Structure 1
Amino acid sequence: MKNLTILSILVTFFVMIQGCQSTSEKLDDESVDRPVVYNPNSAAYIAAVQSLVDAMLAGDSTALTELTTEDFISIYVTNPMDTVNKENFIKDWVSFQTLRSDQQNERLAVSCLKVNEGNYIGDWVQYWGNYSANLVDMDTSLFIPYFINLKLSDGKISKMYSYYDRVPIWQAVGYQITPPGQ
């Protein structure tokens, strides 16, 4: 009976190892079509996105112009009414230089994927970070965790979806949140 138990454990272990190996081989098989894959150009695309973030903080209109496509659009997902085209996006980040000081970015994580089918076909970079700045004339600082999802076309950024919580911004400039009924 003891030998049968040991044999059962060994067979189970062997089957598990074989199953893992065949799964690994399938994942490495480039002939298999997948809807989403790691992007082979990830180093260049991540560098382009990092350059965009750096240019935003510096208010560098030349770099922002060079890093984005002519039809670039920035979509603020928390409030789509604030979605802006390339011209206004650049104008906003240049104007922030007079409204904010000591702008800092902390990159937390980044990934780069290629979508091969569906409505979002293309090259995408996902970027998580923390933004901080001091508001000029207000003796107030901001700290905003954020996520941006950027689509690239021919190595330039064509779309930027921004996700962040606006409540800390409102509170930093003096707004108070009042619960309903109070």
Structure 2
Amino acid sequence: MEMLHEVDTMNDCLERKLLNGNALLERLNPEFKAKYAINSLQHPHLRIMSRMLRRKVRDVRYRRRTDEIDKCLLQLINLKPYIKQTDCPDDVMDCLEESCHPQSDLWQGYALRAVDIFLDSLLIFWEPQFHPLIRESHKKLLLTSARELAEGCAIIQPLEPDPDDFLAHLRPYASVYFEILYS
């Protein structure tokens, strides 16, 4: 469990793509290193944690993607003049780009997904019932719906434990436990 906790605290390694052993060894909590006598890249705990971090990359990327789509949706909801369902997606994208001033190359993909969600999933149901000015009084509900839609476009499952995350002598027990847990 302590290894899982250590891996959870290393999101900065994932953000900076520092998945090699040296970066991992440097960022380990000193008490953890001392407790398990981790002083080299060959230590079994370090190898297991490195594998866990590599698997966790997908989850971090998914969360970053969801947050970026959510930010774009927030911008779309707040844009003035209000966007209507009949607006051209390219025009909506241009308006979004003007208001956001994109900082990364990935922004374009996130913004395109946000425009699709906004026009095809939010406004298609929202606009026929509410005039754009009524959005102000229902903004909290609209933001909640937007966040749920941004999270709903997930194709990646959260990190699940694997028998290889355990030391060799514990793997048979872990395998039996997971078999019972997932059956």
TM-score by length of 1: 0.29
Greater Rg, structure 1 or structure 2? 1
**When you count helix as a share of all residues, which structure comes out higher?**
2
